Amino acid sequence: MVSTSIIAFIIVLGILIFAHELGHFLVARLFGVGVEKFSLGFGPRLFGRTVGRTDYRISAIPFGGYVKMVGEEPDAEIDPEDIPYSFTHKHVFKRILIVAAGPFFNVLLAAVLFYGIFQFTGMFVLKPAIGNIQENSPAAQSGLKSGDLVTAIDGIAVESWEEMAALISKSGGRSLTVTFLRDEMARDLRLTPEQVVTKNLFGEDENRYVIGITASGESFTRSLNPIEALGASISQTYRVAELTVVSIAKLIQGSLSAKTLGGPIMIAEIAGQQAREGAVNLLFFMGLISINLAILNILPIPVLDGGHLLFFFIEAVRGRPVSLRVREIAQQAGLAVLLALMIFVFYNDITRIFFSNPV
């Protein structure tokens, strides 16, 4: 099991890093910037190959990667013949696109992975079939029974539990007509949803309208044509990105516990679990992590892509670069924040391993 987790972790991390750095590399070359190194990993070079002026290498420390461009450091001495290939000497909007290409390629990778899953394996759909019914709930009082399959709410056809739940939640408490199948016969009944306080994904209280039923767990796989799969992949990518942004905002606000953060150990553990469940699960997990990596990278923290973008946007507005001294101080602060975050997530991972399972 440990070996599976390690192998899955290396595969997931390697593909995500490659996609990210490939984005930087391709857009840099598109704008004529010279690339000196394309590295998967940090630290000493293990092996690689030099093509033209670019050293494509695998380095010893696998937690990351980088693209080293000509003139990447503003204070670096550049030979006059290299100025046309210098990153620093390119227009600020070209530099913005080069830096933004890394996170963009991670989002693109996720969308491609989701598309492949939806196109070749279809979409998992939870049926609107009733499992348990709460006592004294609107469903119990109206006569709904376990095993009934809901087919429409107020004449609007539903195929999934999600569609049915959304219509009930949006009812505002007004009376609804529920159409369902029982013993293969279609029937209708009227009921009025009740408002209850439930916990959302972040453990926060929210008011919802419900009828007091749970899902039976029955499901089916819906086949999608290429256009439907494309739409589903874009929708899935957007939902995951939105959830990631909201989660980060709630962490900053303090309404979501920092104990939920996980690091490489947690990723390796989950990757191993998904790998044992099958290739599709691992690919879906890879898509989720790829979007998370993209969004974390565009946070305005110096050292990350977002920090560089912040400086470039300031330069675009001011008409001149941020001073080297300010950038150096900001990068030192950003590095300190990043190191503190890494230590914290490692601590969370270790705490989960040794203290989360009482005996």
- Whether 44 contacts 25, CB under 8 Å: no
Instruction: Give the count of beta carbons closer than 10 Å to the beta carbon of residue 32.
Output: 11
Q: Which residue in 111, 95, 146 sits closest to 305, CA to CA?
A: 95
- Whether 4 contacts 272, CB under 8 Å: yes
E-state strands within 241-321: none
Bridge partners for 195 per DSSP: 209
Note if 204 is an active site residue: no
- Whether 194 contacts 209, CB under 8 Å: yes
Q: Please report how many Cα atoms fall inside a 13 Å half-sphere around the Cα of residue 160, on the Cβ side.
A: 10
First to last CA, the chain: 21
DSSP designation for 84: G
Structure tokens at 108: 């693109």
CA angle 308, 309, 310 (to 5 degrees): 90
- Whether 137 contacts 224, CB under 8 Å: no
Instruction: Say how far apart CA 180 and CA 188 lie, in whole Å.
Output: 6
| Alpha-carbon torsion (82, 85, 88, 91), positive or negative | positive
Residue 203 backbone class (left: φ over 0; alpha: ψ -120 to 50; beta: rest): left
Reduced to 3 states (helix: H, G, I; strand: E, B; else coil), residue 302 is: coil
> How far, rounded to the nearest angstrom, does the alpha carbon of residue 136 sit from its chain's CA centroid?
40
Q: Among the options 21, 72, 73, 218, which is catalytic? A: 21
Catalytic positions are 21
